[in-house]
Amino acid sequence: KRVAAAPKNPSLGLSREKNGRRILVFVRVRPLAKKEAEAGARCCVRIVDRRDVYLTEFAAEKDYLRLKRLRGRHFTFDASFRDSATQQEVYSATTSELVEAVLQGRNGSVFCYGATGAGKTYTMLGTVESPGVMVLAIKDLFSKIRMRSCDGNHAVHLSYLEVYNETVRDLLSPGRALVLREDKQGIVAAGLTQYRAYSTDEVMALLQQGNRNRTTEPTRANETSSRSHAILQVLVEYRVRDAAMNIINKMGKLSLIDLAGSERALATDQRTIRSLEGANINRSLLALSSCINALVEGKKHIPYRNSKLTQLLKDSLGGSCNTVMIANVSPSNLSFGENQNTLHWADRAKEIRTKGYANEDALPVPETETDQVKLVFELQKENR
Ligand code: ADP
Ligand code: MG
């Protein structure tokens, strides 16, 4: 099916629409790993025009040595990043506007999700040489604060926490599990470290140490459990004077979330969610699916209470929060099923409407169009 060509410079501004603002959904493909190439993997994800994603299914031919292209599916997102995209490009397109909004007292959240090994932690945390969204956001925040004021009017506090097996832990001060409590500001983790940050320099080391404190797989020490969710909360407090020159305190919060591996755990309908509930699958991820489904369907009741993750994210998902999803996929056809699942879920997430806010400066985002080709994936298993 032919798709309208994407404009040369698609605006990534926060869109305003009649029925509320939809969340922005991005896809990032990581480079093919050496191991995958050696195993004969073929690239099954192609990005065209910076927005369109083509997922191709290959099946082994009779001799099982060659792969035949079977069929494909096409998706369109707000922007899609090829394996050559830099961390800075990904940050600028996905998160920089949220940082600006946080400085105006609005909440924002960025989720990375996808199967284990798809590039979530690389996108969020990155490396010392190529820092990811978390570090670039804080760097940008400090430089924006410097441009705005030199009187120390803004205070930046960082909290980094993990949800693993329905237990919340402080990654900046590991120890006991934290208890969630409801207070005036919403759900808070009692006793969570709020690290006052003064510059970017200290942040990478702090977050790397935090990441090392994430729960590891019992069988493979050093390897972060694929079931661990990490949330970095960046709280910006500042003071402004109102018309009567009274000082008022304001606050904006940015949540940057490196979700657990989504393999087998993302469900797009309630029936699948119920069938997975019995199977000891990541409860927080399922609860997130449920909340997203409820938001997509415009339900009044959003089941935030069903897990620790969704309780913590209550003010960062839906409501008046700006939400961004980055779906990470591997290019390998060996991960076809997982990629398909991730892209399908990302496609659905585009339908979430939040109340949002009117950002007068924002340009409208072009409406996306998705080719809804129905496919049968009976050969999927054979293909793996
Ligand atoms: P996840 O957190 O989703 O399980 P990782 O972020 O740990 O996956 O990525 C798996 C591997 O792929 C890591 O070795 C990581 O450094 C590498 N990787 C992921 N994305 C990229 C990228 N965009 N560029 C280069 N290497 C990447
Ligand atoms: Mg990871």
Mutate to test the pocket of ligand 1, among 91, 122, 329 (most ligand atoms within 8 A of CB): 122
pLDDT score, position 98? 95
Residue nearest to atom 17 of ligand 1 (CA): 119
- Alpha-carbon distance 118 to 115, whole Å? 6
pLDDT, tens digit (0-9, with 9 covering 90-100), for 48-88: 988 899 998 876 665 555 666 667 789 999 999 999 999 99
Please report where in the chains the tokens 């050969």 appear, as a residue: 379
Token pair listed for 381: 């298993």
Q: Which ligand is nearest to the CA of 30?
A: 1
Which tens digit of pLDDT belongs to each residue from 219-235? 776 788 888 999 999 99
* Residue 119 counted as an annotated binding residue: yes
The ipTM value here is 0.99
Q: What atom of ligand 1 comes closest to residue 87's alpha carbon?
A: 23
289 Cβ neighbours under 8 A, 6+ residues apart:
265, 266, 267, 268, 273, 345
Copy the structure tokens of residue 362: 């924002």
What CA–CA distance (Å, rounded) separates 157 from 160?
A: 10
For position 329, what pLDDT does the model report?
97
Ligand 1 probe mutation, 26, 27, 30, most atoms within 8 A of CB: 30
Element (H, E) at 135: helix 133-148
For the CA of 115, the closest atom of ligand 1 is 3
- Point out the ligand nearest to the CA of residue 162: 2
Residue 118, marked binder = yes
DSSP character at residue 373? -
Asked whether residue 121 is marked as a ligand-binding residue, the answer is yes
Q: How confident is the model at residue 290 (pLDDT cuts 50, 70, 90)?
A: confident
* Ligand-binding site membership of 115 (annotated): yes
> How would residue 351 be classed by pLDDT, with cut points 50, 70 and 90?
confident
Q: Which ligand is nearest to the CA of 263?
A: 1
**pLDDT of the residue at 267:** 53
> Tens digits of per-residue pLDDT, 2-12?
444 444 433 44
